[in-house]
Amino acid sequence: IELAPGLLHHPGYLDAGAQGALAAGLAAILREAPPFTPTMPRTGKPFSVRMTNCGPLGWVSDRAGYRYQATHPETGRPWPAMPDAVTRAWADLASCPAEPEACLVNLYAPGTRMGLHQDRDEDEFAAPVLSLSLGATALFRYGGLTRGAPTRSVRLDSGDALVMAGPSRLIFHGVDRILSPDLLAPMPALPEAVPAGGRLNLTLRRVSAIR
Ligand code: MD3
Ligand code: FE
């Protein structure tokens, strides 16, 4: 479903088996690279979303600013490798000749929000961003290339993929709320690091310029 030019929603992209396999891979990643609480540049105000990463690079934020780095900000260890299910999804959906370099894993407890923002910490905007959702449904909001542009909302359910490419790569977006788990919507058991009724979102990104 093309929500906007370059913004593609793939409802139910991961079936129940693939979601379970991905959840198991993420449980191992969360043990090796425990979730951290990023803080805002300058102010040090904590985000309500907790995070970890896998792949060669990971996104971090602290008083010094936003950046990508090769090691966990608390353990100092390199990020674990991306699970196969994640690299396969990139190959299948991203239409990008270059490999993904970073997979940011966002952990949402019920009540967590993510304010409207642009993703512009990468050096390559020609490559898309690919999102995979697991667990509780999120109410995702997206707009245009300016903060004041009109916005729309879409539900992101467990197993959904979203591709942000081309004219949508720099749109403002955020998460308004995490919905209560729906008995009718199947979802895998999430890793124990994720609070009950919570959600995991993975974003795969190319960080460095494609030569
Ligand atoms: C549209 N994550 O990590 S995923 C983020 O659900 C982020 O955790 C949200 O925004 C989440 O930066 C939204 C969907 C998404 C991700 C990246 C985008 C939409 C995007 C980049 C550009 C445009
Ligand atoms: Fe974002």
Q: Which atom of ligand 1 sits closest to the CA of residue 174?
A: 10
Element (H, E) at 18: helix 16-32
Is residue 211 assigned to a domain?
Answer: no
How far is CA 137 from each of CA 16, 36, 158, rounded to the nearest angstrom? 15, 22, 6
Provide the pLDDT for residue 211: 86
Q: For position 32, which CATH number holds?
A: 2.60.120.590
Provide the pLDDT for residue 18: 96
Distance, in Å, from the CA atom of 156 to the CA atom of 136, rounded to the nearest integer, reads: 9
Q: Whose CA is nearest to atom 6 of ligand 1?
A: 201
Tens digits of per-residue pLDDT, 101-154?
999 999 999 999 999 999 999 998 999 999 999 999 999 999 999 999 999 999
Provide the pLDDT for residue 199: 96
Q: Give yes or no for residue 106 CB within 6 A of ligand 1.
A: yes
- Total domains in the fold of the chain: 1
Is residue 210 assigned to a domain?
Answer: no
Q: Give yes or no for residue 162 CB within 6 A of ligand 1.
A: yes
Is residue 97 assigned to a domain?
Answer: yes
Q: Whose CA is nearest to atom 15 of ligand 1?
A: 131
Cβ contacts of residue 10 below 8 Å, gap of 6+?
1, 93, 160, 161, 162, 163
Q: Phi/psi at 167 (nearest 5 deg)? A: -65, -15
Provide the pLDDT for residue 182: 77
Provide the pLDDT for residue 3: 98
Whether the pLDDT of residue 178 is over 80: the answer is yes
Provide the pLDDT for residue 179: 95
Q: Which ligand is nearest to the CA of 53?
A: 1
3-state secondary structure of 19: helix
- DSSP per residue, 66-131: EEEESB-TTT-PBPPPPPHHHHHHHHHHS--SSPP-EEEEEEE-TT--EEEE----SS-SSS-EEE
Tens digits of per-residue pLDDT, 158-171?
999 999 999 999 99
Q: Which atom of ligand 1 sits closest to the CA of residue 133?
A: 6
Provide the pLDDT for residue 186: 79
Q: What is the value of ipTM here, to two decimals?
A: 0.96
Distance, in Å, from the CA atom of 102 to the CA atom of 205, rounded to the nearest integer, reads: 5
Which residue segment(s) compose the domain that 25 sits in? Answer: 2-205
Q: Whose CA is nearest to atom 4 of ligand 1?
A: 131
Whether the pLDDT of residue 183 is over 80: the answer is no
Tens digits of per-residue pLDDT, 20-40?
999 999 999 999 999 999 999
Q: Give yes or no for residue 203 CB within 6 A of ligand 1.
A: yes
Grade residue 82 by pLDDT with cuts at 50, 70 and 90. very high
Provide the pLDDT for residue 155: 97
Q: Which ligand is nearest to the CA of 169?
A: 1
Q: Give yes or no for residue 104 CB within 6 A of ligand 1.
A: yes
Is residue 166 assigned to a domain?
Answer: yes
